[in-house]
Structure formats: structure tokens, C-alpha cells
Structure 1
């Protein structure tokens, strides 16, 4: 009996401790504190949905800034564009409208989302079409290949965004942080770059990333709205309510089911690539042979997964390569094809070849740099040492008060440079003093070694 009494005491004590812990954790993670009213949150999100006036102009300016940042490869400029972009409004509006059965808000959100997409794509396409910088830099290329991490960032960023919007105090840094993390405007600009340059694989990759981010932000908004138990909109007409519910269910399925399939596929690709990297690093570890390149491609249709490695150094025997293929099963890569490229008569790749290729590449870069330097020297205004000339002229011709010199290029009407000339503007020391223009012109030709000298003399009264 005493043992049963002790057991009951322990159970009661544990139960009381568990209830205290549950109450403590519930209080810590509760979202009821500082919670805004449902109608207030809906009004705030609905205000950010509409692209008209200020919002539309800010979107255009943000798109231009992001395009410039991608063009000059500046992460700071791209972050600035993401901070000022109002692009998240319609996306959160879609998620909120699905969560509260607001069909009118859903239509408005989708309409403005389409307008936002078109305006941003057109703006970025026009910019990259007229931009003189046409190379794809690293910041731009990073927006063409979505990864699993992009999905997770969009999901958790959307959750953080709707939680911040559901508070009475919206002055926190959450919304700007979400705008930076989810990165919606750079993929749109990259898609514009793909259209402007005719590289449609860039357009498709960037649009894919934008679609993934948009869908998962909307999904996160929908989930949080349901978690907060916002009241759903009621309809007076039962038939209309049934039709609206069916339409919204169809839109939800069409929007979210592909995103789940895509996300699952991306997870499988990421796991395959991580496993392949682990396999290559452990199996192809030899003292005199190095892996200099490894390409991984996940299975598509009838094509199996494939790992292709390029080796440098001492060639591996065929039995060693077969042993490496046999170890694919041990790493969970059962149906993966292994292709090994190494030094051979038909596929020669050695250190001497690499050094020659690097030397040729370096020579080409040096040649290009020399051409650019020569081109710049043709067009830039050159310093002619006016400070030294003015001191010498002060001794030779005391009648000169001030002098201005600049070296320029004379162009014809087709934009071709013809010759170099020196422009000189002098002012007499006073109105009564005369300047020997011909002597001064001859002296400047000798002093600057420029034959074509254009000399202009102004009176002290003309100086303003």
C-alpha cells in the first residue's frame, strides 16, 4: 500500500510539473499578445495588394534598381531594391483570401499580381535591351537555378511576414527582412534579362524561381491565417457560396499541388547531389590522382542519374574504376551511371595542357585589356599640366591674368576621332593690357607638342 501511495505521489507530481511546463510554453509561444483584429489585418493586406499610383511607380523604380544591381554585380544595390519593392502585397493577398474565403480579394490579388508581373518583366526587359553591359554576372546567374533552400526560405519568410502583419505594431524590421530573404524582384529582373538577350533558359529558370517563391509565400500566409483561426467570409446566397468555394478550391489545388510536387522533386535532386558529392570525395581519393571536375545530373524520364568525373594525374586502372562503380550501391546510388574521364590517347588532359590553356586565356585577357586602354586613351580628356604652364607663362607674358587649358579629341559626324587639339582660354591682367596671341599660340605648340591650338582671348569684363 505504501508503494502505491508513493507511486501516486510521483505521478501527481509529474502531472503537475507537466501542466506547469505546458502552460509556460503556451504562454511563451502564444500569438495572442499584440494581436490585431481580423478586419484590420485584412484591410492592411488589401491596401498593399493594389498597384496604382505610388505602388506602381515604386515597383518600376525598384525593378530598375535591381536590374542595375544585377548588371553591375552589386549585392548591396540588389538588397536596396528588395527593400523598397512592394511586390509581396498581391502574393500575401492570395494566401489571405484563400484562408478567409474572400473571393473578391482573391480576384483583386490575382489581377494585381498579373499587372505586377507584366510591369516588372517589361521594365527589366527594356533596361537590359538598351544596357551596354550584356554579360551575365554571378549575381544574375544565381537567380536562374532554384534550389530546395529557396523553397524553405520562401515558406518561412512567408510565415514571418503574415505573423508581422497580424500584429498591432507593424513598425518592426520583419517585413523588410522578409523582402530581402525571399528575393522576389531579382528573379523577375533576371527573367527580363533572358528575354532581352534571347537566352530563354535564363528566363525559364528565373521565372521558375519567382513562381516557387510566390507560391510558397502564399501557402505560408494561408497556413498562418488558418492557424490564427480568422473568421471565414459568409455568403448570403448558398448557391453562390458553393460556386465560390469550388472555384477557390480549384485555384488552391492548381496553385499548391504543383508546388508540392516541384518542392519534393527539388528535395530529391538536392539529396542526390549531396550523396554524389560524398561518394566522389570518399571513393576517388588517390595519392597521385585528383578530381578536377564533377558533374551530377538527376534522372529525367528514361535517362538515369549520372555522375561524370574528370581526373587529373596518374590514370586509374580499369579494375579500380569498376570497383568505384560497384560502390555506388553502398552509397544509395544503385541506378546511377558513372562516367570517368582521365588522361588517355583519345581524351588527353594533363597539367601541360591546362597550363597552356591558362596561358592562352591570360594572353587573350592581356590583349583585351591593352585594347581597352588604347580605346580609353583616345577618348579621355588628358591633363596637360596647366599648373606648370601657368607659372611659366606668368614669367614670359606678365600681361596674362588667367589661363584655362584642356586637351580634347576632334570627331567627325560619324563619331570617328580625327585628331587632337588644345583649347586655350586666356584673360588679360586688365582691360588696357594687350596679349600677343600669335606668340602665345606658337609657344603653346612647342610647350605641349600639340600642333592644333585653338586660342580664345576674353576681356576681364566678360568674366562672370
Structure 2
């Protein structure tokens, strides 16, 4: 059956199973079933964009948590920073043509930026940990992954806000917080330490993420077909529409170019890594450093390599350059730096120093082990000594042995001696101490032995 007839008598094209599949997919992925009314979503977002009371304190605490995470290089702590962002208010207001909500969102966005920057700057100014860790450095250079986190975080956020049941806003909040708060904290770190490049890079990342969160919100609001605001005054409506259109273009058009450039950079770096891994896979030569620079405008891209090991000839390097085009790196320069003879000598010297250092460590370990053996109480084999002594000298009831060190009056160690406390089996029993000393010398390999005889107490009898 290639088609089916509807109730109105019109025949639809396509097989019946396709219509059933389409209906099934529409039912599964439809956002209309539990969609909240526009006014309800508007009220929730308007309440969320205002930073007053709880929201303001949550922002301050979230900034502190993220700053701590960046300071100790802990990604888990950074992700734990939550934020209700007015940026969604910007996208929602643009989607429904609400100029008043847009102004309120932008004012609170500015307040959010100032409070977060001041909080993080104060924290990093008084923090004893001043080094830039990897989590801090990662927030100074925007990547495609940052944009995707912001984009999908914004989509998840507005979908959650547009539901009647808004209890599932935690995950979107985490995604948005991950995209916004850490860059602001990094910008504060740059101000606190006087490193403006950190501030500029982190602010750039914050701006990009903000734009893409607002863009995602704008697109989803238009997709949900929420009713747009209607003005009674047509002149005011025309002016508002023009103003919002200008803001939309100024905000979103740069994001398209930024996004495209990030994708090109990511693709270039991935292809460059593949090229280096395949073309420079030599048995006696290793790539110890690979720097990739994506060209802007007419400036060509560049791959810089630092090699160690067997020196590659000009023909080999020329062959590697010829393969750039095969990997799609047509307008790319290849710069190869190889270790000279002096460099190899330095590496050999460094290896020799490491061997000497390892030998010194092993010598020190052996010395410490010798000292431990010297001062250690005689315990290994004491059970055997006591059992053998019980057979050889039945008159001995018990014996206690310990190793000691004799020191002179100046505190210098002179010799090792063995101290023994012998208890007869019965009171008055005779013990041949000289024979016992000779036997202990043979048994313990210690020449200086001191024995003390202790009469058994009445309790032992």
C-alpha cells in the first residue's frame, strides 16, 4: 500500500509506515505537550534575571566556588558553581520583541559582570596560590568546545524554562555556569595579578559564550512560536523593532564569523596532528614539540616542529613538505628545527648527570638501610635462639636480647654490642655465662656481648 486516505477523502502520498513513523517521532520529540504559556515563562525568566537578595548572594558564592576550583586546579569544583543567568533573558526578549525585558536583562547582565569580576579579583588578590594552573589557562583561549557548551547549555536552559514543571533546571544551570562563571573568574585573576592578556582572553571567552547562550535562547523561542509583543503606539513599535533588530544583528552576526573561525582552527589542528603523526613517524627521530598556528587572512598557517635524535636530511624534509597538500594543508608552512651536535652533547651530559644522581640516591638508601640494621632490635631468629638454648642449657628459663650501640664521651659511636637478660629456670640454678657468650657470638655474629643474670621471681615459680 503506497498511500492512505484521510477523513476528508484526500489521499496522502508515501507509504503508510512512513506516516506512522512520522507520527511516532512527532509524538516523542514534540515540545508542545507540556509547554507552559508565554506569560508564565516570561514571569519566570523576568524573576530570574534580577540580581537581588538570594540571586545576588548565589552569584557571589558561585564566583568564590569557581575561583577556588581554578586556584587549586579542580574541574569538579568549577562545574559545581551554579548561576541563574540574565543572558537567557536577553535571548527571550529578542525572541518576543520585548524591549523592556531586554533593557532589564542587559542592566542585570552588567551587574552580574561587575559583581563576579570584583569578587574574583578580591579573592585572587588575597589568595596565596598565585600560579596559573591548567584550568586557568584553558579559560583564556576560546575553543569550539566552549561554544558548543554555551550553545547546548542555552538550548537546554530555555527548554527547561518553557516547561510547566521547572524542577529539572539543575543540568542547564550547571552547563550555563560552566560556560560563564569560570571565564569571569579568570578575568578577575588577570586583574588581580596585573596580567591583562589573561583578562582580555577570558573576557573574550565570556562574551562569546554569552552570545551563543542568548542565540540558543532566541532560536528556541522562535521555534516554540511564542506570541510576540504588540504595541498600541505604532511609531513606538517601529522604533523598538528597529532597535532590537540592530541589537540582534550586532550581537549575533559576529558570532557566526567567530564560530566559523573556531571550527576552521579546530579542523586545522586536528589535520596537523594527523599529518605530524603519520609523516614524522621515524624510528630514530622523535617529535618532542609541535606548535600549530592557524593563519588569518592572507597570512599562511604554520606548523613548527622540534626534533631530537637522528638528523633528517633536506630531501626527507622536502618530501614531508610535499605531503602537506595531500593532507589538505595547502597554504601551510612547515618549520623543522633539529638538535645540533651540541644539543646531543648536552642531552648526553644530562643523561650522565641523571645516572650520577641516581647512583647518589642509591648510595644514600644503602647507607640508611645499614643504619637501620645497626640500630634494629634483634628479632629475626630470636625464636630459634631461645629454642636452641632451651635444649643446650636446660637451666635457662628465658632470655631477652637486644642490640645496642656504645658511644664515647664525645657522643661518637664506637661499637655495636649485644645485651642479654638471662633468667634461670629455678632459683640458684647455675648458668655457664662464658659458654653462653661464645655460643651467642657464633649465632649472632656480634663480638661484644654483655649478659646479666636475673633471679626468677616468686610469681614465676
TM, length-normalised to structure 1:
0.71
For structure 1, which segment, 337-346 or 142-151, has the greater mean C-alpha deviation from structure 2 after superposition? 337-346
8 Å Cα contact 1:288-1:313 kept in structure 2? yes
1:412-433 deviation per Cα after TM superposition (whole angstroms, max 9, x unaligned): xxxxxxxxxxxxxxxxxxxxxx
1:3-31 deviation per Cα after TM superposition (whole angstroms, max 9, x unaligned): xxx9889x989522211111111111111
Match runs of 1:2-401 below 5 Å: 15-80=15-80, 82-83=81-82, 85-86=83-84, 88=85, 90-172=86-168, 173-179=170-176, 182-345=178-341, 351-352=347-348, 355=351
Q: Which has the greater radius of gyration? A: 2
For structure 1, which segment, 226-235 or 119-128, has the greater mean C-alpha deviation from structure 2 after superposition? 119-128
8 Å Cα contact 2:157-2:173 kept in structure 1? no
TM, length-normalised to structure 2:
0.72
RMSD (CA atoms): 2.5
Q: 1:349: how far off?
A: 7.9
How far, CA to CA, are the matches of 1:232 and 1:207 in structure 2? 32
How far, CA to CA, are the matches of 2:99 and 2:356 in structure 1? 63
**CA 160–349 in structure 1, closer or farther in 2 if over 3 Å, else same:** farther
Counting matched residue pairs gives 351
How far, CA to CA, are the matches of 2:176 and 2:109 in structure 1? 16
How far, CA to CA, are the matches of 2:341 and 2:138 in structure 1? 37
8 Å Cα contact 1:342-1:349 kept in structure 2? no
8 Å Cα contact 1:289-1:312 kept in structure 2? yes
1:208-254 deviation per Cα after TM superposition (whole angstroms, max 9, x unaligned): 11111111110000000000000000011111111100100000011
Q: 1:114: how far off?
A: 0.6
**CA 164–325 in structure 1, closer or farther in 2 if over 3 Å, else same:** same
1:274-310 deviation per Cα after TM superposition (whole angstroms, max 9, x unaligned): 1110110110011111111100001134532110111
8 Å Cα contact 2:154-2:176 kept in structure 1? no
Is there any run of 5+ residues in structure 2 with no aligned partner, and where? 5-10, 359-461
Q: 1:351: how far off?
A: 3.6
Q: 1:261: how far off?
A: 0.7
**CA 132–239 in structure 1, closer or farther in 2 if over 3 Å, else same:** same
8 Å Cα contact 2:144-2:263 kept in structure 1? yes
For structure 1, which segment, 187-196 or 60-69, has the greater mean C-alpha deviation from structure 2 after superposition? 60-69
1:291-335 deviation per Cα after TM superposition (whole angstroms, max 9, x unaligned): 111000011345321101111111111110011011111111111
Q: 1:356: how far off?
A: 7.5
**CA 200–7 in structure 1, closer or farther in 2 if over 3 Å, else same:** closer
**CA 206–212 in structure 1, closer or farther in 2 if over 3 Å, else same:** same
- Post-superposition, which runs of at least 4 consecutive aligned residues in structure 1 deviate over 6 A? 6-9, 356-362
8 Å Cα contact 1:343-1:349 kept in structure 2? no
2:321 match: secondary structure: helix
